[in-house]
Structure 1
Amino acid sequence: MLDVPLTTPSIDPRREALYLTLAQVPEGKVVSYGQLGELAGMVRAARWVGRTLSQLPEGTRLPWHRVVAAGGRLSLQSGTPGGEEQRARLRAEGILLRNDRVDMRRHGWHREPGNG
């Protein structure tokens, strides 16, 4: 079951696929917007993923903070409430940030074959 309030009885299948995939990203790992879209079955959907995640309701339990821009770059500005929350959450999970980037080789998530 998804932990996002739904305003209609049925959710858009693309959003549902995105939310289900995002919910699988484990603590201490990150994915890029484009990678998350691809894993959810949508090729070249990085911008759509970003817009959709920006519309998550306050207090969602989905790990939105584990989604970063290409190359591990944090896209939420430092000094903004969302940017500071993302940085704090990533650090709390043991993810080191260097120059507002995450080392994707170390912290990038690669879903195991057969898991979704």
Structure 2
Amino acid sequence: MELQEKLETIANRYGLNVQLLKLAEECSEYSSAVHKYRVIINCRDENDGNARKYFRKLEKTAAEGCRNKLADVLVMARQIEYLMKDDKAFNDEMIRLMNVTADKKLKQIEGEPK
């Protein structure tokens, strides 16, 4: 079974509302993993000797945790994109809001030095 077929099977089983809640959970877990990674990097850089070795060991595991949690977020986001197609009003609103967000970012980029 290809990835898209797997995602659609899961999405169809649980539906949009459940998967929206699950996305929030996965985003929170990803955020926590990134913060943990940053703390480990900072501690690694601020310590010497055995402490530095300890934090170097943790760094690899923490980086892997970030990648795993990001994969979870992307799985949920793709399921929601798939499910949105069946809810025209929600889909249209999300596209409108994404355009607003993209326009704001493009305007911000225009104001940044090159």
Superposed pair shares fold, TM > 0.5: no
- Which structure has the larger Rg over C-alpha atoms? 2
TM normalised by structure 2 equals: 0.22
> Which structure exhibits the higher relative contact order, with contacts defined as CA atoms closer than 8 Å and separated by 6 or more residues?
2
Determine which structure has the larger helix proportion and give its number. Answer: 2
TM normalised by structure 1 equals: 0.22
